[in-house]
Copies of this chain bind each other. A is one copy, B any other.
Amino acid sequence: MAAGERIQDSLKRQGVRLTRQRRILLDLIDESGEHLDAERLYLLARGKDPKLNRVTVYRTLKMLKAGGLVDELDLMHHAGDQHYYETRRKQEHAHVVCLRCGAVEEYFGPALAEMRRQIEVAFGFEIVMARTEVGGYCGRCQTEMAQEKGKGTKQ
């Protein structure tokens, strides 16, 4: 995929049919700031086309994943076992998920690329995709948990 290219352009180049439904879904994925799961994407898409079916969402996501146009995330299964999706247009990053409030931060540091390189060398492995997810507690939740603990002991 050319850098900065939208998913739609990439698909068109591959000769994939651009239906009304796909245009809606791809726009949402391209523009969304959040990490979307199938159900959330479905609900957003229905806002634009109430007839659009949930199955079409799954089929579209599957196609995009197979084509390497989106990455599939689990976000530590923090909110259930559904998958989340994001375009691959961004630089590789790790997802840091707060297990208490669900906030997701993205880490772009050099250790990721370094690890990737080491794995390729060490195993003669050809990496197609990589996923790092970290679960724990964000700064704010650490504070709040400390406060609650204080209250708890008084009671």
- Give chain A's interface residues, CB within 8 Å of chain B: 72, 74, 76-77, 81, 94, 96, 98-99, 105, 107, 109, 111-112, 114-116, 118-119, 122-139, 142
Kindly identify which residue among B116, B123, B139 contacts A123, using a CB–CB cutoff of 8 Å. Answer: B139
Kindly identify which residue among B123, B125, B131, B138 contacts A133, using a CB–CB cutoff of 8 Å. Answer: B131
User: What is the CB-to-nearest-CB distance from A140 to chain B, in angstroms, rounded to a whole number?
Assistant: 9
A126, B137: Cβ atoms closer than 8 Å: yes
Copies of this chain: 2
User: What is the CB-to-nearest-CB distance from A102 to chain B, in angstroms, rounded to a whole number?
Assistant: 14
User: What is the CB-to-nearest-CB distance from A48 to chain B, in angstroms, rounded to a whole number?
Assistant: 29
CB closest residue in chain B, given A145: B126
B116, A114: Cβ atoms closer than 8 Å: no
List B contacts of A124 (CB < 8 A). 138-139, 142
